[in-house]
């Protein structure tokens, strides 16, 4: 078999393995990465590199592997746009975490969200108490969105403070 065709087949195989692995281990892994998650990503990329290119360490072999990954990703996204079966297999549906101030404990437990993580998301959206939440959703990208129960719903913005030493750079 042609060695570059072999690289393409290996790269596509690793791509599908990673899609399935992320589906099995959950979308929560994609939300906010901590140190252990970053280390895991680095180690996975190192461990699958040889599986993709084999003994070929040439520049062209690496480019072929990267090109195959970009192509299969583009192809896979187009398939997901047109096929609800594949889209539903790969992407979970959004999950309700809080509805009208009532916490969905079974859902939190099933997807592995702690009360501390839910509290943090509420604080980021300017909400103090669970009873003030009209709707909290665990989105398909792994983030938590919250709509407060106030009569006039407003979008909340979190503006990062600029450290005093960085503020002088604009002068």
Token look-up 């680095």 returns: 42
- Phi then psi for residue 12, to 5 deg, are -65, -40
Beta-strand ranges (E) seen in 21-168 are 95-99, 102-103, 133-138, 144-148
Q: What integer pLDDT is reported at residue 164 of this predicted model?
A: 44
Radius of gyration (Cα) for the chain, nearest Å? 21
How many residues comprise the chain? 171
Q: Give the model's confidence band at 161: pLDDT under 50 very low, under 70 low, under 90 confident, else very high.
A: very low
Residue labelled with tokens 């919250």? 146
pLDDT band at 116 (very low <50, low <70, confident <90, very high): confident
Residue 117 has pLDDT above 80, yes or no: yes
pLDDT recorded at residue 152: 53
pTM exceeds 0.75, yes or no: no
pLDDT confidence of 31, banded at 50, 70, 90? low
């Amino acid at each position: 078999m042609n060695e570059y065709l072999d690289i393409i087949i290996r790269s596509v195989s690793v791509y599908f393995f990673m899609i399935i692995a992320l589906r099995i281990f959950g979308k929560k892994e994609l939300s906010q990465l901590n140190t252990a998650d970053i280390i895991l990503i680095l180690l996975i990329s190192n461990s699958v590199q040889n599986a993709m290119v084999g003994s070929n360490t040439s520049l062209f072999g690496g480019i072929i592997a990267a090109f195959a990954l970009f192509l299969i990703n583009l192809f896979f996204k187009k398939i997901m746009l047109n096929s609800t079966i594949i889209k539903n297999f790969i992407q979970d549906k959004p999950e309700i975490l809080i509805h009208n101030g009532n916490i969905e404990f079974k859902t939190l437990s099933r997807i592995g969200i702690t009360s501390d993580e839910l509290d943090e998301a509420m604080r980021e959206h300017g909400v103090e108490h669970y009873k003030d939440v009209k709707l909290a959703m665990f989105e398909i990208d792994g983030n938590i969105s919250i709509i407060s129960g106030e009569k006039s719903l407003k979008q909340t913005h979190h503006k990062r403070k600029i450290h005093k030493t960085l503020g002088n750079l604009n002068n």
